[in-house]
A = this chain, B = another copy of it.
Amino acid sequence: MSLRHGLLGILAEGPASGYDLAGRFQEVLGMVWPAQHPKIYAELGKLADEGLIEVDSVGARGRKAYRITPEGLAEVRRWLTSTEVDHTMRLQALLRSVFFWLMPADDLRRHLEAEAAYYQRTADFYRELAAAKDRGEYGDSPPTQAIRIAAEAGIRLHQALADWAAWAQTAPLSTDDDPDA
């Protein structure tokens, strides 16, 4: 249940509406923790019921901005410092790699090339994000510095996968070329 803490963490930066939060999860956070607006609105309702957040203001078009409460701030801090990190890494690309031997050699080559290109693109995206932060385009507030650190992980992870996909094309593997079996 990390979504609630993700929401609390973003709200710790300042008040935001469900729509705002959905946007944030879409752009940057979405690559590391996808969340759709229905889940977000539902979770915000629960957090408000529990007193971890409260309505800050109601604006035009029914916009409801939430503000984190002291209890909510304490809860994110507790999560960050006192709970075990879940190291689960569900990567479909890696699951697929276990079954590469079932792919015709030609399809596999194309697949690895596409994968390498995708990961390289994504690594470059994070590289650009990091560069923009380093140029000071987003200021240097603590939240911005933290996102810079997260971006570095994005760069390193995706570059590692891009290099891996390139390496995999040179690795020995007898593929099963007969699709009729």
A118 to B: closest C-beta gap in Å = 7
Q: Contacts A33-B95, A85-B93; is A142 near B101 (CB within 8 Å)?
A: yes
Q: Could you tell me the distance between the alpha carbons of A100 and B85 in the complex, rounded to whole angstroms?
A: 13
Question: For window 79-96 of chain A, which residues contact chain B by CB distance below 8 Å?
Answer: 80-81, 85-96
Q: Contacts A153-B164, A173-B149, A174-B142; is A34 near B85 (CB within 8 Å)?
A: no
Q: Could you tell me the distance between the alpha carbons of A104 and B76 in the complex, rounded to whole angstroms?
A: 12
Extra 17 A-B pairs, beta carbons < 8 Å, given A87-B92, A89-B91: A2-B95, A9-B99, A9-B102, A12-B99, A28-B98, A31-B89, A34-B90, A77-B179, A81-B111, A85-B118, A87-B122, A89-B89, A89-B157, A90-B90, A97-B153, A100-B149, A142-B173
